[in-house]
Amino acid sequence: MKKKIAIAAGGDSGEYEVSIKSAAVVEEHLDRELYDTYVIVMRNNEWKHTDDGGEVHFINREDFSLSIRGEKIIFDAVYIAIHGTPGEDGKLPAYLDMLNIPYTACNQTTSAITFNKYFCNLLVSGLGVRVAPSIVLHKGMELDYEAILDVSGLPCFVKPNSGGSSVGMSKVNNAGDLPSAIEKAFIEDEQVLVEGFISGREITCGVIADGDKVRSLPLTEIVSKKEFFDYEAKYTDGLASEITPAQVPKQVEQQCRDTSEMLYKRLNCQGVVRVDYIFNESGLFFLEVNTIPGLSANSIIPQQAAYAGISLPELFSIVLKQALAN
């Protein structure tokens, strides 16, 4: 009998549209001989599935079930394709844990920690991986801009402490631009991270667990035609080059892959994740870990999987099998 899989999409962050595209890719490539799929779009308090006939059915949140024409559908697993809240920050995993429903993402603790960039930097630094100097700001606190720049220096990046796809992020080159950059980031989050700029080349590495083996994917180098790899550059054709496999020295590639696999294990990750870095003559610097990376046509993980000889149906099958085995 085919497994019934809910594909959670949408969410309540600026990455809503990206999530919808990711969910469409998952739905298209999941093996129809093995799985019946139902895209569940979540937005604020509305969780709904629209069937092929255009009829809308709402999720029963007491048990995360659907009722379609008198049939109650209980899901065997949830493929979480929500970037941002409530998928990537741990809220949805916590809810599904309470219902004992398997899902394809990191658990509540790992999700919450990795979603908080400042906490994640502290943890990763404690594991011996270098990070940029940073300071976290809280909405409503009195700001000492000079003290902030004493930590980060110039140039620096100002970004929401929790979030992705570079939404609300700015690169600050002049001290006078810092207040407006912080204000912009506070629109997206209650906490803002100010992080020192590390010059160098940006690379990223996908990691999956295939059975008992943690496996890194080929690296991708990101070359943005804008000043940095912001939301527009990520999702607009022609504004960035994503080179897979990255043309980097072998020792850099090996260090990046080894570090990514180590972080996957030590952070207790599940499913497919992507770890971003900057490297230069001084070595490798951690940027962030994306526990629910994009899977749309412009996304990096599908590129890396293809170069590794893993089709999208195979990739999604690997991820679902891990979830169902837990």
SS3 97: helix
CB atoms within 10 A of CB 204: 26
- Tens-of-pLDDT digits for all 326 residues of the chain? 899 999 999 999 888 998 999 999 999 999 999 999 999 999 998 999 999 889 999 999 999 999 998 899 999 999 999 998 999 999 999 999 999 999 999 999 999 999 999 999 999 999 999 999 999 999 989 999 999 999 999 999 999 988 654 678 999 999 999 999 999 999 988 999 999 999 999 999 999 998 889 999 999 999 877 555 444 444 455 567 899 999 999 999 999 999 999 999 999 999 999 999 999 999 999 999 999 999 876 789 999 999 999 999 999 999 999 999 87
CB atoms within 10 A of CB 37: 18
Q: Are 16 and 89 in contact (CB under 8 A)?
A: no
Residue 282 gets which letter from DSSP?
T
SS3 80: strand
Contacts of 105 (CB under 8 A, 6+ apart): 80, 87, 88, 92, 93, 111, 270, 271, 291, 292
Q: Length of the chain, please?
A: 326
Give the sign of the dihedral formed by CA 249, CA 298, CA 198, CA 257.
Answer: negative
